[in-house]
Structure 1
């Protein structure tokens, strides 16, 4: 007898982010085997151009694999990732989903895709592992400013970082990598490895190998929260709420109704200080998801209550 939706627990999601050629797929293979050895049911979502070269006999038939091609999970394939995660939740209900993003994906956009309002009760806040080619990262100034910024952001928003190809780094270069990361306001923990070997890295949590449970006290980082409105709200009050938001709020997405047009549901999105409203034909639940850095959830909830009940 299948488990009902009401009793299903949320799926954990671990995202591997990092620039092209950093070793994400090699790390993914090791993480899959490690999770399986601890008894977890595993699913994989690949958003990479190319084949997924994993020995199926090694992984077994109990690992579900989905591919997202011809686009990037952080932009053109956002809707696709929502559909895939919904399907995994209802059909396979894995304990953990590993997502290997393309080398050009931005981690905040990936988090946004995984924390869609329709997924908030099914998927935990993604845990980000940055994968770095140490030498290439140190040579990032030779790339365009956009690419350099992306390489830095991929590491900045990670909970911790696997620095691959350690044997190619001198002591001075290793120190330079550490210094570069220590300038980040989050200062994620670094692990230097070769071939993404993680055998000597303790990833075991009290339930399964939950990395987040060990580092939560150190890395507040990006968080998410959801809020459900009881009915239509006033547009003017929403605009004032948005004007007062701190810069630490990165994304808001969800569904709203307004008192000026109470029968119409709108898909609402907010990013980089700009709100967008799009009529929604379906009568969706009036829930929004807020993603930001070190959220003051109590304060935000109080302000949203004022919006909701004014």
Structure 2
């Protein structure tokens, strides 16, 4: 019997927005409920100056790099730690650096090699209300800061607008208007002071994974939701979905299909068996670009994972069959 996936939450937010305060409060709440949390802390420097706050926790420290770039491969390797029986946790929290792009952390988590171990529930991004308008202004911040903040906000499934005690009503209205322009309608904004939020709000499942089957035995028009732990009866706009165990494909046909996918598909990755040159290849797909690399281990199962927002899953499944596998749609 396979182990249940570890529910995983990504904590994001610019420097000084209050991520660590929220993380510590979540840990305290978990313990009061008898849950065993695991933590991944990421720091750009060689030392985590806040490490002492987490003594006694099941924790991985990723130092001297940012998960979203230089140590993404390390994260994939290190996460295996939590899949060992002696290190089992009930829930995992990943706090990126203040300049981490949550999409890149999500990409590491949805690596096909980890697909059966972790399930991302939500990307919680904190924004500092007292600095928000200043950081967004072309007059008082750099393009890099504005772009990074935009990445953190637009990839969130929940926004915590923190330090609300430091702004007046007029500023609050301006911030909310600006945020609503950047966010999808479904993304909730919770206003907070000292990151104080009910744990149940933070733990709501705001992303989901759909397993897509190519076999005739599966009902529901060929794909099925595996969301037994989700008790909310609404559709999640953010999804990852996967297709597994498909035969060898033609590289040109496969790449052409990827590049034609709808804009709502933000990322693609997985392992494909190519007909020519034959063999198993790992692929990455982002911004309409495809990268392929032959795998050392040629015994893995084929797997395609797509991550996106309101994706037309059934359309994509049918087009994969017709255009890549060249089989009749089921």
State TM-score, norm by structure 1: 0.87
Match of 2:297? 282
> RMSD between aligned alpha carbons?
2.2
Highest relative contact order (Cα 8 Å, sep 6+), 1 or 2? 1
1:83 counterpart residue number:
77
Instruction: Give me the whole-angstrom Cα distance separating, in 2, the residues matched to 1:215 and 1:137.
Output: 32
Asked if residue 23 in structure 1 is aligned to residue 39 in structure 2, the reply is no
4+ residue runs of structure 1 moved beyond 6 angstroms? none
Displacement after TM superposition at 1:55 (Å): 4.2
Q: 1:70 to 1:55 in 2, by over 3 A?
A: closer
Q: Report the Cα offset of residue 38 of structure 1.
A: 2.0
Alpha carbons of 1:216 and 1:139: their partners in 2 closer, same or farther (altered >3 Å)?
farther
Query: Quick one: which of 92, 114, 121 aligns to 2:116?
Result: 121
Which residue, out of 49, 65, 71, partners 1:71? 65
How many aligned positions are there?
Answer: 294
1:151 paired residue number: 149
Q: Could you say which residue in structure 2 is the equivalent of 1:190?
A: 189
Unaligned runs of 5+ in 2: 207-229
Distance in 2, matches of 1:239 and 1:218, equals 30
Q: Contact 1:11 / 1:95 at 8 angstroms: preserved in 2? A: yes
The yes-or-no answer on 1:308 pairing with 2:325 is yes
Q: Is the 8 A contact 1:186 1:219 kept in 2?
A: no
Task: Please show how residues 1-310 of structure 1 align to structure 2 within 5 Å.
Answer: 6-49=1-44, 50-53=48-51, 55=53, 61=56, 63-91=57-85, 92-140=87-135, 141=137, 142-187=140-185, 188-198=187-197, 201=198, 203=200, 209-212=203-206, 217=234, 220=237, 222-262=238-278, 264-283=279-298, 284-306=300-322, 307-308=324-325, 310=327
SS of 1:261 mapped into structure 2: coil
Between 16-25 and 34-43, report the one with greater CA deviation.
34-43
Q: 8 Å contact 1:229–1:308 — kept in the other structure?
A: no
Determine if contact 2:246/2:303 at 8 Å carries over to the other structure.
Answer: no
Name the SS for the 1:121 alignment partner.
coil
Q: Structure 2: how far apart are the matches of 1:195 and 1:38?
A: 22
Residues 31-76 of structure 1 deviation map (CA, whole Å, 9 limit, x = unaligned): 111122222220000012432255457xxx4x30110011111111
Partner of 2:226: none
Deviations 1:133-163 (A, max 9, x none): 1121111222222320211221222121112
Runs (5+) with no aligned partner, structure 1: 1-5
The 3-state SS of whatever aligns with 2:175 is helix
